[in-house]
C-alpha cells in the first residue's frame, strides 16, 4: 500500500507513516478533496511541490481535443425551400465555397411535373488545422410543381434512408469506420413576400420535425424593412406555436456561464427565425471590401448585424451549436428511429415464430405470413 501511495502521489517513503495511511482511509470515506488529501499525506513541506498537486487527469480534455482534431469533423446540412429563394447563395456565403457551380437550372415547362430530387455536395474544408467534411443536401424541385401535395416525402425518405444506413452499419461487423451521413440540420427557407406560413411550410416542417433539427429562415430579408421583418418574425413565431411545429430548441445556458455568453445566447434565441441575406459578390462599402448586394440606392451588407441575421446564423451553425445539432440528431432523432426499428423487428420476429410454429397449411395463417413478408419489405428490416 505504501509503494502504491508512493507511486500515485509521488511522495517519499519517509513521509508516509502508518498514521497517514490510516488518514487516507478515513478521508476516503469522507470524500476529501484529492488535493487536500495529498497535502495531508505528504505534508506541506514535501520535496516536489509541483508534482504533488498534480496527478495528470487534468490533461484529459487536451487528449480528447487532440484525438478529435486528428480524426476531423463532419457535418451534414440540408437546405429546403422553393427554388430561387437564395439557398445556394446563402450556403456559398456561409462556407465561402462554390458548391453549386455545375448546377443545371430547369425552365418553367420542365418544372411543371418536376418531382423533388435530392442532391448532395461534399467539400473538405480546413481552418487552423481543423478539418471539416461538410455535406450540403439540396432539395431542388421542392414546392415548384403545380401540385405540391406530399412534396416533402422525398425529403423524409432521404432522411430515413440515412438513418437506416447508419443502423445497418452500426449493427454490422465493421463498426469502427462508419460513415455518418445523417442529416444534422435542415435550414428551411420561408419566402419574405407572404403574410406568414403557407400550408406547404406547415406541412413540410411538421413532416420533418421528429427526424431532423429544423431551423426556419426568412429568405431574402433585404426585400423587407426592419419593421416588416420584426412583424413577420412575430407572426411566424406565433404560427409555429399555434400549429405545434417543433423547431430546433436552443439548449439553456448554464447558470455559471459568463454574462456576455448569456446575452449572446438570449439574442440568438430571440432572432428565430433568422432573417438572412446571401451574396456571392464582394463590394466596396465604407472604404472596405465586404460581401454584399449592390443596389442603385445603396449596398446591403451580408455580414452587417444591422442589415440581417447572417452573422447570427453563422455563429449558431458553425461556432456555437454545431455540436449540439449533432448530439440532438444522434441522441434524439436517431434514437427514436432506432427504437422504432427494434420494436418493429421484435414484433415481426414474435409473429413469425408464432406462425411458423403452427400449422403451415392453414390458409388463415398463410395470410398472416404474407402480411409479415409485406411488413418486412415495408420496414426494410
Taking the C-alpha atoms of 345, 350, 354 and 360 in order, what is their torsion angle to the nearest 10 degrees? 10
Smallest gap from Cβ 311 to ligand GDP, in A, equals: 14
Contact residue for ligand GDP among 76, 89, 181, 329 (CB under 6 A)? 89
Q: Compose the 25-54 pattern: x for residues touching ligand GDP by CB under 6 A, - for all others.
A: ------------------------------
Q: Phi then psi for 378, rounded to 5 degrees? A: -65, -40
Smallest gap from Cβ 198 to ligand GDP, in A, equals: 16
Instruction: Give Cα 163 distance to the centre of its chain.
Output: 14
Contact residue for ligand GDP among 83, 162, 181, 213 (CB under 6 A)? 83
Question: What is the C-alpha separation between 113 and 145, in angstroms, rounded?
Answer: 6
Using CB under 6 A as the binding rule, whether residue 213 contacts ligand GDP is answered as: no
Nearer CB in complex with ligand GDP: 9/188:
188
Smallest gap from Cβ 330 to ligand GDP, in A, equals: 28
Long-range contacts of 166-175 (CB under 8 A, 24+ apart): 166/334, 167/337, 167/338, 167/341
Q: Compose the 252-291 pattern: x for residues touching ligand GDP by CB under 6 A, - for all others.
A: -------------------------xx-------------
Using CB under 6 A as the binding rule, whether residue 99 contacts ligand GDP is answered as: no
Smallest gap from Cβ 209 to ligand GDP, in A, equals: 22
Using CB under 6 A as the binding rule, whether residue 222 contacts ligand GDP is answered as: yes
Would you state the cell numbers that stand for residue 315, as one nine-digit string? 455563429
DSSP state at residue 97? S
* Omega before residue 273 within 30° of 0, cis: yes
Nearer CB in complex with ligand GDP: 76/83:
83
Please, are residues 294 and 283 in contact by the beta-carbon 8 Å criterion? Answer: yes
* Stretch in the footprint of ligand GDP (CB under 6 A) among 43-51, 86-94, 335-343, 349-357: 86-94
Taking the C-alpha atoms of 105, 119, 83 and 100 in order, what is their torsion angle to the nearest 10 degrees? -60
| Residue with nearest beta carbon to ligand GDP | 86
* Stretch in the footprint of ligand GDP (CB under 6 A) among 50-58, 84-92, 168-176, 233-241: 84-92
> Which of 99, 110, 93, 6 is CA-nearest to residue 48?
6
Please, are residues 170 and 112 in contact by the beta-carbon 8 Å criterion? Answer: no
* Stretch in the footprint of ligand GDP (CB under 6 A) among 82-90, 225-233, 342-350, 361-369: 82-90
Using CB under 6 A as the binding rule, whether residue 220 contacts ligand GDP is answered as: yes
Smallest gap from Cβ 86 to ligand GDP, in A, equals: 3
* Stretch in the footprint of ligand GDP (CB under 6 A) among 35-43, 67-75, 215-223, 239-247: 215-223
Contact residue for ligand GDP among 46, 86, 216, 273 (CB under 6 A)? 86
Give the residue carrying C-alpha cell 454545431. 322
Total of residues contacting ligand GDP (CB under 6 A):
12
Would you state the cell numbers that stand for residue 173, as one nine-digit string? 461487423
Question: What is the C-alpha separation between 290 and 365, in angstroms, rounded?
Answer: 71
- The SS3 of residue 101 is coil
Smallest gap from Cβ 106 to ligand GDP, in A, equals: 10
Using CB under 6 A as the binding rule, whether residue 85 contacts ligand GDP is answered as: yes
DSSP H or E segment with residue 290 = strand 288-295
Question: What is the C-alpha separation between 16 and 1, in angstroms, rounded?
Answer: 10
Nearer CB in complex with ligand GDP: 302/372:
302
* Stretch in the footprint of ligand GDP (CB under 6 A) among 22-30, 51-59, 81-89, 339-347: 81-89
Cα–Cα distance list, 229 to 81, 172, 186 (Å): 19, 49, 22
Using CB under 6 A as the binding rule, whether residue 121 contacts ligand GDP is answered as: no
Question: What is the C-alpha separation between 209 and 126, in angstroms, rounded?
Answer: 31
> Which of 109, 195, 113 is CA-nearest to residue 148?
113
Contact residue for ligand GDP among 52, 87, 312, 326 (CB under 6 A)? 87
Nearer CB in complex with ligand GDP: 82/180:
82
E strands, 173-238, in order: 185-190, 214-218
Where along the sequence are the contacts to ligand GDP (CB under 6 A)?
A: 83-89, 220, 222-223, 277-278
Amino acid at each position: 500500500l505504501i509503494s502504491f501511495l508512493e507511486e500515485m502521489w509521488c511522495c517519499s517513503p519517509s513521509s508516509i507513516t502508518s498514521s497517514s495511511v490510516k488518514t487516507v482511509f478515513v478521508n476516503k470515506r469522507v470524500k476529501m478533496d484529492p488535493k487536500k488529501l495529498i497535502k495531508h499525506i505528504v505534508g506541506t513541506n514535501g520535496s516536489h511541490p509541483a508534482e504533488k498537486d498534480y496527478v495528470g487527469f487534468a490533461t484529459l480534455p487536451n487528449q480528447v481535443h487532440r484525438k478529435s482534431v486528428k480524426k476531423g469533423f463532419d457535418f451534414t446540412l440540408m437546405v429546403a425551400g422553393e427554388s430561387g429563394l437564395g439557398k445556394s447563395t446563402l450556403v456559398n456565403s456561409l462556407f465561402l465555397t462554390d458548391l453549386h457551380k455545375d448546377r443545371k437550372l430547369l425552365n418553367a415547362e420542365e418544372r411543371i411535373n418536376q418531382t423533388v430530387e435530392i442532391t448532395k455536395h461534399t467539400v473538405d474544408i480546413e481552418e487552423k488545422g481543423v478539418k471539416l467534411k461538410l455535406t450540403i443536401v439540396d432539395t431542388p424541385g421542392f414546392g415548384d410543381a403545380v401540385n405540391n401535395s406530399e412534396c416533402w416525402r422525398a425529403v423524409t425518405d432521404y432522411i430515413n434512408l440515412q438513418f437506416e444506413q447508419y443502423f445497418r452499419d452500426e449493427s454490422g461487423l465493421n463498426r469502427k469506420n462508419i460513415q455518418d451521413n445523417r442529416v444534422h440540420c435542415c435550414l428551411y427557407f420561408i419566402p419574405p413576400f407572404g403574410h406568414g406560413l403557407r400550408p406547404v411550410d406547415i406541412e413540410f416542417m411538421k413532416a420533418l420535425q421528429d427526424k431532423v433539427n429544423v431551423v426556419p429562415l426568412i429568405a431574402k430579408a433585404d426585400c423587407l424593412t426592419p419593421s416588416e421583418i420584426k412583424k413577420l418574425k412575430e407572426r411566424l413565431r406565433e404560427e409555429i406555436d399555434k400549429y405545434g411545429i417543433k423547431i430546433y430548441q436552443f439548449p439553456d445556458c448554464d447558470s455559471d456561464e459568463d454574462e456576455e455568453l448569456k446575452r449572446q445566447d438570449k439574442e440568438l434565441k430571440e432572432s428565430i427565425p433568422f432573417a438572412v441575406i446571401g451574396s456571392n459578390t464582394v463590394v466596396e462599402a465604407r472604404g472596405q471590401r465586404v460581401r454584399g448586394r449592390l443596389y442603385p440606392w445603396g449596398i446591403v451588407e451580408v455580414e452587417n448585424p444591422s442589415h440581417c441575421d447572417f452573422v447570427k446564423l453563422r455563429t449558431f451553425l458553425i461556432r456555437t451549436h454545431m455540436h449540439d445539432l449533432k448530439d440532438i440528431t444522434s441522441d434524439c432523432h436517431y434514437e427514436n428511429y432506432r427504437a422504432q426499428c427494434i420494436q418493429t423487428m421484435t414484433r415481426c420476429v414474435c409473429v413469425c415464430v408464432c406462425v411458423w410454429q403452427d400449422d403451415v397449411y392453414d390458409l388463415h395463417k398463410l395470410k398472416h405470413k404474407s402480411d409479415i413478408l409485406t411488413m418486412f419489405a415495408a420496414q426494410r428490416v
